[in-house]
Structures are given as structure tokens and as C-alpha cells.
Amino acid sequence: MPWLVHVQNSWAKSTPSPDADNIFEISNSIVAVDPDHGINGWYPIDSSAWLFVEAAQKVGEISDDHFELDGGVLPQLEVSVPKLAPLDLTLGDPEEPLRSLSSKITDEALLKLHRDGFVIVDQALSPALCETLRHEMDILLENGQMWDSQSYSHEEGALHHDICETTLDFKDVRFYAPTFTRMGTDEGLLRVLRRLPVLRDLSMQHLRLQINKGNGGCYTMHTDSGVSGEEDGRQVLRVTALFYLNEGWTSEHGGELRVYPYPSAPVKIAPLLGRLVLFHPRLVHEVLPNFRKRYCFTLWCAVEQSSTSSHFMEDLESMTCFNQACSVCEKATHLEKTPRSKLLQVPRPLRCLLLPEVRPLLVRYVFRDCELQSACRSHDEGPQKQEMLEGIGRYHQQMRDENPQWFRQLLEQLPGAEVGTARAARLGSYELKEVMRSCCPWWEDAA
């Protein structure tokens, strides 16, 4: 079983000798070595590099189904439990469509959203309101007020199967959809979300309506994004709120939302009448094939300007080396000046696990087969689709090539880790997963 060794500062050598040429420097990193292939304390760490390892440097071990790490490798991290602000029930119009959310989104729901990156709120909208909203969406579709959904690029998007969308600013939508128009300025949801300290600056929302016609239409795995128009634009989107309006849904109808709240396992969520799903925009999600007409709308909740550059997030999502992504994240967020500065003590590549900004990349590796399947079934046949699938395959291969095998093994163990089995003062995959969930929330506080 490979050993995991903690290298504070050393050079990898071209041969197993202190006099050999330096190949590359290793600093504050975990490296895997095979104890059966050592030569007088020297171990090969790739096809052309050797590392001298002292016994005290061993901090753990890993195999396909086992991981154990000395707990002292990680600094003492605080469990993040936010203090919720009180809700002022005197604000807003009593006739607001979203007024009911003040009682439906409980303290427990807000704390779960903060910890897990998503939460399900059932019966958030009344059946009567859902019926009104469905009727308005049907009228919009009948009167040419929606467009075909697409992805892959802004100029030549690959069309999704039978999915239509619209916004309040498209054509005459405001004329045909008066309830949705009122909802566009209804701050009922924003007021509740502002109770979380990390969301206290929410100040705007953008509404999008969607009808899936039910012919197998689905939506590929993706994250949401929102960018201001400034040259040094900021990530403005902070919460995605997805509302479902579907009466009489059964499992045969499909159309479930699947979220990937890594390091937890994926969760499949049925599009039930009146259900609200709140989640972090960087939470990877998809819509599974749908076989009945399906209604939903999204409120993207945003701040005017956040502390994190949106361009850094866009760059991050195209990276394949986890350590490189980690470095970019640290620089862009000025990590050393934030309450999260302790994370800089964590050796690489473990540090990647504790930076929520990097989680979409980890999801794309761990669930790479799901991503290919999702992209394949959600787009019509044609050259654009083939080009997209080939690009995704190349991306996954680069991830395999550029990241250490032991760390990739660990990434794949975490979602299925359910029972703690590590010895005292040690971390197994389950314990590490719980550290990620409890100490590294999805939202970073800019304060």
C-alpha cells in the first residue's frame, strides 16, 4: 500500500543520490511513494524523479478503497455555523407573490443551505399560485414569447431538446405575464436569504421562465454564472432559486434536478408542485430527461459587486491541474488576508479539497462519465455536439495526466464514505469529508 509523505521543502532528483541533478522543487505537499521500491531511503515519484524520504515524513497511506492520514497534517479549523439575522415581517407588500417564503424557508433550511450548498423547501408556493403561473407560461409559449434553449457557445449554441425559455425583458413578456412581472420586483425571497450573514448584501434578482415540452428534453451538467459588464467584472450571482410548478408528477415523467454537492454524493430532486430548490451557483447540476410537459422558473439572486473576480471563476472552470487551480484561487481571493488564511497551512493537493471555489473541477473529474452522458443526451446530433463531446473527453484525459494518482483515488472515495473507521488522531475519508462540509462552507464571507 503506498505511503503518503509530507514534504516541507525538498528537491526531486534525477537519480537516487543527493549529488544528482535537481528536477523540480517540492514545497508543503503530500506525495505518494511505494515502500516496496525504495533504494536506501530514495523512492521514485514519477518515471524520471526520485525523492529521499525519512520515516518521520510518513503521514498516511492510501489504496483503492482505503485512506488514512495523520490528523496533525491539517490545522485546527473552526466549524462554520452562521448566526442568522432576524426577519422584519413588516417589510414588503402583503400581496407579494413570494410573501409566503418568510414562513416556508426556516432557520434549519438556511443553515443547511450554508453547509451543504443546497436545500429543498417543499410547498414554498401555493397550488393556486402555481396554477396561475403555469397559465401565464402557456400563454407566453402560444404567443411566441419564448426561445429555444442552447448551450456550448454564445454564437453557435448546441440546442437542447425541446426546452423553451424567456425573461421579463424579452419581447412583450411583461404584457402576457402580469404575475411574473410583479414577481420580478418582489423581494420576498431576498429578504429571507439576507438573514445569512454571507448573503446580507443581496440586492437584485433576475427571473427566467422555462418550459420543457416533455420529449426527452434535458439539461447538461453545468454551473450558473453571473458577470457584471465592467472590465474587471465581478461575480454577482450568489444564489440560484429554482421553483417547480408541476401538478401530478410521477417518477415516470422524469425531469428531475440532479445536484452534485461534493464531497457528498449526488442527489436527485423531483420537480414537485410548489417545490423550491435553493443552491450555490457553483454547485454543479443537471436536468434529467423529461417525458411530460414541465414548468419551472428561476430567480438568480445577486449582489451589485462581490469580493471575488468573476473572470477568475471563468478561468478556473477550464483548468485541469488541481494545484494550479488552487494557486489561482488563493491569489484571486487574497486568501492570506481573509478568515480562511489557515488553509494556506494545508499541504497540496489536499488544500484543493478545502477551497469551495475548486469543487466544480473536482466534480468534473469524479463524475466524468456522468458529464459525458449528460452532454450526449441533452443535445441534438450534429457536428457541434460531436465537437463538444470530443472536447470534454480531452479535458478529462488532461485531468488524469496532470494530477497525482493517489489524490484522484481519494477524490473518488469521498462521496461514498459514510462511516468513520479511522484510528484515534487519524483522518479517514469519512472524517476528511466531514471537515470539508462543516469547516469549509460554500459561501465565502467577504467581511
As given in the structure block, the three cell numbers for residue 155 are: 454564437
DSSP state of 420: -
What's the rounded Cα separation, in Å, for the pair 131 and 354? 43
**Which of 255, 272, 302 is where one domain is finished?**
302
pLDDT at position 154, please?
Answer: 37
Within a domain: 76: no
Within a domain: 207: yes
Residues of the chain with pLDDT under 50: 152-159, 228-233, 235, 446-447
Q: Would you tell me how many other CB atoms lie within 10 Å of the CB of residue 400?
A: 12
Mind giving me the DSSP string for 223-275?
A: ----B-SSTT-BB-EEEEEEEE--TT--GGGB--EEEE-TTSPPEEE---TT-
As given in the structure block, the three cell numbers for residue 26 are: 517540492
pLDDT at position 333, please?
Answer: 85
What's the rounded Cα separation, in Å, for the pair 298 and 275? 12
Each residue of 382-424: pLDDT tens digit?
A: 888 899 999 999 999 999 999 999 999 999 999 999 887 777 7
- Per-residue CA distances from 27 to 5, 31, 344 (Å): 12, 10, 12
As given in the structure block, the three cell numbers for residue 96 are: 407579494
Residues 114, 43 share a domain:
no
Number of domains in the chain: 3
Q: Do the beta carbons of residue 102 and residue 87 sit within 8 Å?
A: yes
Q: Do the beta carbons of residue 157 and residue 151 sit within 8 Å?
A: yes
Residues 323, 352 share a domain:
yes
Tell me the pairing of strands 276-279 and 426-428.
Answer: unpaired
End-to-end CA distance of the chain: 44
Residues 214, 111 share a domain:
yes
Residues 335, 289 share a domain:
no
Residues forming a β-bridge with 364 = none
Upper half-sphere CA count for residue 22 (Cβ side, 13 Å):
6
**Which of 302, 337, 361 is where one domain is finished?**
302
Q: Which domain, by its residues, includes 7?
A: 3-63
Rg of the chain taking only CA atoms, in angstroms: 24
Residues 224, 262 share a domain:
yes
Residues 267, 132 share a domain:
yes
Residues 314, 298 share a domain:
no
What's the rounded Cα separation, in Å, for the pair 269 and 378? 18
DSSP H helices, 297-447, are: 310-316, 322-332, 359-366, 368-377, 383-402, 405-413, 429-439
Residues 367, 290 share a domain:
no
Any idea what the CATH number is for the domain that residue 173 is in? Answer: 2.60.120.620
Of 266, 241, 242, 244, give the one whose Cα is nearest residue 371: 266
Residues 250, 116 share a domain:
yes
Within a domain: 69: no
Q: Would you tell me how many other CB atoms lie within 10 Å of the CB of residue 89?
A: 11
Residues 323, 373 share a domain:
yes
Within a domain: 85: no
Within a domain: 392: yes
Q: Do the beta carbons of residue 444 and residue 198 sit within 8 Å?
A: yes
Within a domain: 126: yes
pLDDT at position 254, please?
Answer: 96
Within a domain: 88: no
**Which of 63, 88, 110 is where one domain is finished?**
63
Torsion from C-alpha of 324, 326, 329, 330, nearest 10 degrees:
-110
Residues 22, 109 share a domain:
no
Residues 372, 250 share a domain:
no
Within a domain: 82: no
Stretch (H or E) spanning 10: strand 3-13
Mind giving me the DSSP string for 309-327?
A: BHHHHHHHTT---HHHHHH
Torsion from C-alpha of 23, 27, 30, 35, nearest 10 degrees:
50
What's the rounded Cα separation, in Å, for the pair 125 and 243? 8
pLDDT at position 385, please?
Answer: 87
